[in-house]
Amino acid sequence: MRAFILLAPVLLSAPVLLCAQTPVNTLHKTTPKSQSPEGVHRSSLVIDTHADTPQRFVDEHFDLSDPLSGGNLNLESAHEGNLGAEFFSIWVEPIFYKGQYARRTLELIDSVKQQVAKHPKEMMFVATPDGIEYAHRTHKFAALMGIEGGHSIEDSIPLLRQYYALGVRYMTLTWSNSNGWADSSGDIDDKSIPHTKEGLTEFGKDVVYEMNRLGMMVDISHVSDRTFFRTLVITRAPVIASHSSARALCDAPRNMTDAMLVAVANSGGPNSKGGVVQVNFFSGFLSQPYRDALKAIQPKADKAVQELKDKAKAEGKEVTPGEIEKIQRSYADQIPRPPLSVLIDHIDHIAKVAGVDHVGLGSDFDGVSGQLPEGLDSAADLPKITAALMARGYSAEDCRKILGGNLLRVFREVEAVAKELQAEDRPRITDKQPFNEWQK
Ligand SMILES: [Zn+2]
């Protein structure tokens, strides 16, 4: 979601003995005895659709074999938490990197690939649902990528296509900034920002169509409500919310109303099995009291940031997003963390409103300044979610859907729709090329 800096004390010290994998009971002829939450979690394919770790790779030279050092994801924690696949977020801060969106996008993409190249025994780069399952079977951590914010394509369909070619498999139409062709919930009330008339411009519609045609999942986290509904009218494939929670439980503009949750569940064509909402773990999107406390402390944090900017300006320097993050985090750390149950409440709410086939996990690890519910410090704590769901009566089958099965189903359907569209007569969308006389 935003830049990240290491500040919190190192959470991991002694190596932890890992539990042996619990065998899956599917081969038994008789009905298997009720499985333990730990057994269910260990035997599930767990997929998370949003981690901002690539910024750490590039800006902090963080390696996935390093200790967490205040972060939420590394190879050890992924292994402990049985995290099978992660969609690494390719997020370009829109003000600091103005004029260099594509460059920064490519550097972040490269950083994910460099991590895979450094850890070939533990990791595998994949870009398909089959790839995720293959990595799981061969006990490797699957690395995938999603772009967070349509500004990365710099108003160019060819750039979108090349990001797909590099392995990007979802794109969040906007981050907190509107980009000229799609509007963001982050600035929709700001009159000084130009917004579209209908939520998407004609170019924005072309982007969604081309994503459908390529087989790139359309991600509606962060977009304004109008952009959300406009996108759902035109998309041919089911959509995802890669990291969004429920607005009925916490009134954040980028959380989803019950009507939106139902709309995601019904997205795609008439034969679609529908999309999925991957719940964000950020305390400020989960707990209303936490959010209110964060708002109350914001003026003080803003003042401290402004002082830093003024000081840097006087010295002829520029403040980095990481330095700003460090200050904001120091203020947010003063607020007591909400209990883990608030996260389970959101999963439960979405399962009840949209259906258990339409909810999953989109942690926002390494993107929320460590502001996660109590007991949820890293990927190693993911089994606690399964345990809490089962304590509320969710079956092993339901848990497997929430942990990754639902996302895998949507990803497969997006691929199938792409094949259909590629077989249609409609020509691919090409930007107008400059006219060259000599080609006549
Ligand atoms: Zn985000």
Centre of ligand 1 from the C-alpha of residue 364, in Å: 7
**What pLDDT, on a 0 to 100 scale, did the predictor assign at position 179?**
97
pLDDT greater at residue 79 or residue 16: 79
Q: Which of 61-65, 354-358, 405-409, 429-433 has the lowest mean pLDDT?
A: 429-433
**What spacing in Å lies between the alpha carbon of 367 and ligand 1's midpoint?**
7
Tell me what the pLDDT averaged over the chain comes to: 90
Cα(172) to centroid of ligand 1, in Å? Answer: 8
Report the C-alpha gap between 270 and 268 in whole angstroms.
Answer: 7
| Interval between CA 393 and ligand 1 midpoint (Å) | 30
pLDDT of residue 318: 84
> 21 or 252: which carries more pLDDT confidence?
252
**For ligand 1, a single-atom ion, which residues have Cβ within 5 Å?**
1
Q: Report the alpha-carbon distance of residue 379 to residue 81 in Å, rounded.
A: 5
Ligand 1 centroid to Cα of residue 30, in Å, is 45
Q: Which of 2-11, 64-73, 100-109, 219-228 has the lowest mean pLDDT?
A: 2-11
Whole-number Å distance between alpha carbons of 114 and 129: 22
Rg (CA), the chain: 21
How high is the pLDDT of residue 178?
97
User: How many angstroms does the Cα of residue 175 sit away from the middle of ligand 1?
Assistant: 6
In order of 17, 311, 374, 390, 394, the CA distances from 222 in angstroms are: 39, 32, 25, 30, 29
pLDDT of residue 13: 33
- Please say whether the beta carbons of 261 and 358 come within 8 A: yes
For residue 32, pLDDT over 80 is answered with: no
Query: Does residue 314 surpass a pLDDT of 80?
Result: yes
Distances (CA, A) of 246 to 33, 277, 390: 34, 9, 21
Ligand 1 centre from 51 Cα, in Å? 9
Render pLDDT for 159-179 as a digit per residue (tens, 0 to 9): 999 999 999 999 999 999 999
What amino acid occupies position 159?
Answer: L
CB atoms within 10 A of CB 116: 19
Q: Residue 35 Cα, ligand 1 centroid: separation in angstroms?
A: 35
Output the pLDDT for position 98. 96
CA of 88 to the centre of ligand 1 (A): 12
Query: How many percent of the chain have pLDDT more than 90?
Result: 83
Q: Give the model's pLDDT for residue 369.
A: 86
Q: What is the mean pLDDT of residues 336-357?
A: 98
Instruction: Give residue-wise pLDDT tens across range 198-242.
Output: 999 999 999 999 999 999 999 999 999 999 999 999 999 999 999
- CA–centroid distance, residue 350 to ligand 1 (Å): 19
CA distances, 267 to each of 254, 270, 271, 273, 336 (Å): 19, 9, 10, 8, 38
Report the sign of the C-alpha dihedral through residues 172, 354, 270, 199, in that order. Answer: negative
Question: How many angstroms does the Cα of residue 38 sit away from the middle of ligand 1?
Answer: 30
Between the CA of 277 and the centroid of ligand 1 the distance, in Å, is: 13
365 C-alpha to ligand 1 centroid (Å): 10
243 or 18, which is more confident: 243
Distance 263 CA to ligand 1 centre (A): 20
Tell me the CA–centroid distance for residue 131 and ligand 1, in Å: 25
Band (pLDDT 50/70/90 cuts) for residue 12 is very low
- How much distance in Å is there from the Cα of 242 to the middle of ligand 1? 8
Res 29: pLDDT: 44
Summarize the confidence of residues 360-369 as an average pLDDT: 95
Nearest to 142 by CA among 46, 68, 42, 17: 46
pLDDT recorded at residue 321: 78
H/E stretch holding 360: strand 359-361
CA of 221 to the centre of ligand 1 (A): 7
How far away, in angstroms, is 429 Cα from ligand 1 center? Answer: 28
For residue 75, report the distance from its CA to the centre of ligand 1, in Å.
22
